[in-house]
Amino acid sequence: MSESHPQPSSSAAATLPGGTSSWSAFRYPTFRVIWIATVISNVGGWMSSAAAGWLMTTLNPNPLAVSLVQVVSNLPLFVLALPAGALTDAVDQRRLLIAGELAIMATAAVFAILVSTHLITPISLLIMTGLTSAAAAVTFPAWQTVVPQLVPKAELPAAVALNSVGVNISRAVGPALSGFLVSTFGFGPPFWFDAVSNAGVLGALFRWRRPARLGSTLPGERFSRAIRVGLRHARYNPHLSATLVRTAGFFVSASAYWGLLPIATRRQAAGGATLYGILLGTIGAGAVAGALILPRLKERLGADRLMTVCAAGTAFATALFGVAHNAGTFVLASALAGVCWIGAVSSLNLSAQVALPEWVRGRGLAVFVTVMFGALSLGGVLWGKVAVLVGTSRALLIAAAAAALTIPLTQRWRLQTGAGVDLTPSQHWPAPITTHPIEQDRGPVLVTVEYRIDPKNRAAFLKALYRYARERQRDGAYDWRLFEDPAEDGKFVETFMTDSWLEHLRQHARVTKADRLHEDVVRRFVIADSRKPTHLIEVDQDRNNI
């Protein structure tokens, strides 16, 4: 749960929106139990991750091989996030989480056996890391969606804040504990701890009973179509698209120190597993400290300036890693990296959250996760290869320069522009009138809307309608076009398609109150009673025996 919500947290004494205490979500037993269980589980995950990275430096110290540990950890989240988001919307989330956590436990146990019996190889280490991450990737969107079911809506900000605190506590404790166990007892114990740490999460999920959900009047979406609609929404949602650009720009460069830190610790600081664990723990501790000051920084700087500061801080921290040759400098760089990491991740995640209406929230966040982990995976391969060619230190310095360069290149895409947009459903479109029942899978459907306007308003009308077209496409329409009548000035016909009659009915349900405001702008140019929508369904020759 906590891994899925990298949100900024508040201090214990602070209050959240609506006057809610930052600790108030702990009053709800189910949330409290699951929070504690996931923190313990996340500690195990960070222990295993830190041990795997260090283990690769002993099996194959090639920088690319070491960096690939981080790549295969991130790649499944890139590949599986969107299908997992669609799956989350289609099945019982509690059962999906239980199945996923069982798979994680089984994979982690096999991993522990291979390590403890000294059968692990560089290839099998990468395979097992990837399999464990794949199991976690399937549950990632589901964890994101269950928190609102654990606490009342008024307590949701407190719950999100506590999840952020939990993930950073585990990030601080897990690697440090892993380094101690590896240096004292060998590589096996961290992997065994990871294997058994999921038991608490499973117990909490078995005890939890999800609240009943209101049934929809429309049947669930098909899996492949749900993915396609989610991607289309992301493409035409300008608030989300801007967030995705900033996300890709930040994480490609920020991935460098995550992937190269094990080999840099060994070669530049002549450190061992204990120092590596301390450095990862320091990054986590820095993130906890950053979470405590984030609300004040955001209030003072705003989302975009805060993101700029965090990106610049990440560039500086990466450069420090590149020039460091002693433990003190590595620790300083790690602390700065942790503070900037939580600031950037929180800003980007919140920007994605506020850009999405409820009907597509799971898939929209899955697209965000896909871009984030895709950038981390790409960066891991890129900087590992650069390190092979020019050395680890120079690769980190080049990555720092790239991180600094992305700041002016991505500045035009603003964050959290969807915060003031009302994305609640408006339900103001009337149901289409038909003379007989329509089979829901019939399609595609061609929708046309005829407009008549005063010709002198042509430019302003077109500007308003083209803006409204993005909202139609964002909600499921495709092949949007606009025609004008050369024989009658001021007459226009808008056309667009939907995949099926059912998809068009869903489009009616997806229209938000913000969309209604834009629609009202278009209607101001329309001569009274001249707006005429029609709905046409493709004739199927086989269906009609033609």
Residues 69 and 130 in one domain: yes
Answer yes or no: is pLDDT of 157 > 70.
no
Q: What is the pLDDT of residue 328?
A: 93
Nearest to 511 by CA among 447, 392, 424: 424
Residues 458 and 330 in one domain: no
Mean pLDDT of 312-324: 95
pLDDT-based confidence at 495, cuts 50/70/90? very high
Q: Give the Cα separation of 1 and 39 in Å (integer).
A: 9
Q: Give the Cα separation of 369 and 4 in Å (integer).
A: 10
Q: Which two tokens stand for residue 11?
A: 């201090």
416 in any annotated domain: no
Q: What is the pLDDT of residue 395?
A: 95
Among 365, 389, 410, the domain-final residue is 410
Q: What is the pLDDT of residue 7?
A: 36
Q: What is the pLDDT of residues 331-386, one digit of tens each?
A: 999 999 999 998 898 888 888 878 888 788 778 888 998 899 889 889 988 999 99
**Greater confidence, 250 or 53?**
250
Instruction: Please give the share of the chain, as a percent, with pLDDT higher than 90.
Output: 39
Q: Give the Cα separation of 213 and 180 in Å (integer).
A: 46
Residues 35 and 170 in one domain: yes
Within 13 Å, how many C-alpha atoms sit on residue 258's CB side? 27
Q: What is the pLDDT of residues 35-50, one digit of tens each?
A: 999 999 999 998 998 8
Q: What is the pLDDT of residue 149?
A: 77
439 in any annotated domain: no
223 in any annotated domain: yes
Cα distance from N-terminal residue to C-terminal residue, the chain: 55
428 in any annotated domain: no
List the CATH number of the domain containing 508.
3.30.70.100
Q: What is the pLDDT of residue 428?
A: 82
Among 410, 434, 455, the domain-final residue is 410
Q: Which two tokens stand for residue 333?
A: 């760089």
Residues 452 and 388 in one domain: no
Answer yes or no: is pLDDT of 6 > 60.
no
Q: Give the Cα separation of 30 and 210 in Å (integer).
A: 10
Q: What is the pLDDT of residues 224-246, one digit of tens each?
A: 778 888 888 889 999 999 999 99
The residue range of the domain holding 289 is 2-410
Instruction: Please give the share of the chain, as a percent, with pLDDT higher than 70.
Output: 91
List the CATH number of the domain containing 174.
1.20.1250.20
Say which amino acid occupies 218.
L
Q: Give the Cα separation of 319 and 394 in Å (integer).
A: 9
Least confident range from 68-72, 153-157, 467-471: namely: 153-157
**Greater confidence, 48 or 212?**
48
Residues 231 and 366 in one domain: yes
Q: How would you class 12 by CB atoms within 10 Å of its CB: exposed for 0-12, middle for 13-18, buried for 19 or more?
A: exposed
Residues 397 and 469 in one domain: no
In the block, residue with structure tokens 């929708």 = 447
Residues 452 and 375 in one domain: no
Q: What is the pLDDT of residue 543?
A: 58
Q: At 452, which helix (H) or strand (E)? A: strand 445-452
Within 13 Å, how many C-alpha atoms sit on residue 329's CB side? 15
Tell me the angle at which helices 273-301 and 303-323 cross, rounded to the nearest 10 degrees.
150
Q: What is the pLDDT of residues 439-461, one digit of tens each?
A: 888 889 999 999 999 999 999 99
- In the DSSP assignment, the letter for residue 431 is P
Residues 210 and 64: beta-carbon distance below 8 Å: no
Q: What is the pLDDT of residue 12?
A: 32
Q: What is the pLDDT of residue 172?
A: 77
Among 410, 431, 459, the domain-final residue is 410
Nearest to 172 by CA among 291, 328, 73: 291
Q: Between the CA of residue 387 and those of 20, 140, 265, what are the distances in Å?
A: 48, 31, 14
Tell me the angle at which helices 238-268 and 29-59 cross, rounded to the nearest 10 degrees.
50
pLDDT-based confidence at 528, cuts 50/70/90? confident
Q: Give the Cα separation of 199 and 196 in Å (integer).
A: 6
In the block, residue with structure tokens 């005829």 = 450
Q: How are beta strands 445-452 and 532-537 bridged, if at all?
A: antiparallel
Residues 463 and 400 in one domain: no
In the block, residue with structure tokens 């098909």 = 222
* 3-state SS track over 171-183: HHHHHHHHHHHHH
Residues 83 and 216 in one domain: yes
Q: Give the Cα separation of 508 and 505 in Å (integer).
A: 5
Answer yes or no: is pLDDT of 291 > 80.
no
278 in any annotated domain: yes
345 in any annotated domain: yes
316 in any annotated domain: yes
DSSP string for residues in 241-289: HHHHHHHHHHHHHHHHHHHHHHHHHHHHS---HHHHHHHHHHHHHHHHH
Mean pLDDT of 134-154: 79
254 in any annotated domain: yes
Q: What is the pLDDT of residue 15?
A: 38
Residues 373 and 458 in one domain: no
Backbone angles phi, psi at 404, to 5 degrees: -65, -35
In the block, residue with structure tokens 């503070």 = 339
In the block, residue with structure tokens 């004008």 = 484
Q: Between the CA of residue 460 and those of 466, 468, 483, what are the distances in Å?
A: 10, 13, 16
Q: What is the pLDDT of residue 541?
A: 61
Answer yes or no: is pLDDT of 10 > 70.
no
Tell me the angle at which helices 238-268 and 223-236 cross, rounded to the nearest 10 degrees.
90
Q: At 481, which helix (H) or strand (E)? A: strand 478-484
Residues 404 and 476 in one domain: no
Residues 291 and 188 in one domain: yes
Report the chain's mean pLDDT, rounded to a whole number: 85
Answer yes or no: is pLDDT of 393 > 80.
yes
Answer yes or no: is pLDDT of 398 > 90.
yes
Mean pLDDT of 120-129: 93
Nearest to 248 by CA among 348, 388, 335, 113: 348
pLDDT-based confidence at 213, cuts 50/70/90? low
Domain count for the chain: 2
